[in-house]
Amino acid sequence: MSLTRFSLEGRTAQVTGCNKGLGRAMAVALAEAGADIVGVNRSDDSATRGIIEAQGRCYHAITAALGETPPAAIVEEAVAAAGQLDILVNNAGLIRRAPAIEFSEADWDAVIDVNLKAAFFLAQQVARHLIARGARGKIINVASLLSFQGGIRVPSYTASKSGLLGLTRLMANEWAAHGINVNAIAPGYMATDNTRALRDDPQRNAELLARIPAERWGEPEDIAGAAVFLASSAADYVHGHALAVDGGWLAR
């Protein structure tokens, strides 16, 4: 297979939550493959901008709070800045931890609004843009191992990521005929801010590492290749799939 199948030259990717962690790794990888990037963040993303612009790619910054800023306004600003969108990576997410018996409605709503509601309506807006242009496109939702498993102490996160996988399949069913590929990446236990509490707990850290065949936490860069593949023409016949990048967790 020619490597040009993985080229993203001439395409623009909108990546949410790319100021650090998994989002930054995916945005940088997409830029390395040739895409210009629209970053949607609520915090400073200057470090990500610097890396991407150093590669000779364009970076357009949008400051928005997912769950608060209307998705239509985000996509309108992105299209105005970049001219078009070809790829959406729904990466931004929240996690709140507490036993299910104690979990608050406020924490439930905050996580669902960002992880599930905002992701769906951003995808809807990007799909409308692609269909209006008559253009092929790629939508990549960042799911989780907890799209497949229950987990503990993260009820709203589990619900949101399980729902996001279901929506990935639904959107794929409806939009594949329009040339829009909707897929998901399901990261395993990655060394990011969201897992800091787990890694700082010696007992929980040891338990998790004992369960991972690769015997290590994933690094943000481990997810980069999956994002490039699903965003490229190499994945044109891949629809509604969840690609686990988990060090073998689900295989055990």
CB distance 227 to 143 below 8 Å: no
Phi, psi at residue 149, to the nearest 5°?
Answer: -125, 165
Alpha-carbon distance 115 to 203, whole Å?
A: 28
The pLDDT of residue 84 is 98
**Which of 79, 108, 81, 87 is CA-nearest to residue 31?**
87
**Which of 203, 115, 198, 200 is CA-nearest to residue 151?**
198
Give pTM, 2 decimals: 0.96
Establish whether 189 is a catalytic residue.
no
**Which of 85, 105, 89 is CA-nearest to residue 143?**
89
CA dihedral of residues 192, 238, 35, 70 (deg, nearest 10):
-70
Fold of 3-192+220-245: Rossmann fold (3.40.50)
Tell me the mean pLDDT per 10 residues along the chain, length 252.
84 98 98 98 97 98 97 98 98 96 98 98 98 98 98 97 98 98 98 91 95 97 98 98 98 94
Find the catalytic residue in 59, 157, 189, 237. Answer: 157
**Which of 72, 61, 151 is CA-nearest to residue 111?**
151
179: three-class secondary structure by DSSP = coil
| Long-range Cβ contacts of 61-65 (<8 Å, 24+ apart) | 62/38, 64/40
Which tokens go with 86? 């070809």
CB distance 93 to 115 below 8 Å: yes
The pLDDT of residue 2 is 57
Residue with tokens 């040891």, as numbered in its chain = 206
The pLDDT of residue 203 is 95
Q: Give me the residues paired with residue 14 across strands.
A: 38, 88
The pLDDT of residue 83 is 98
The pLDDT of residue 1 is 47
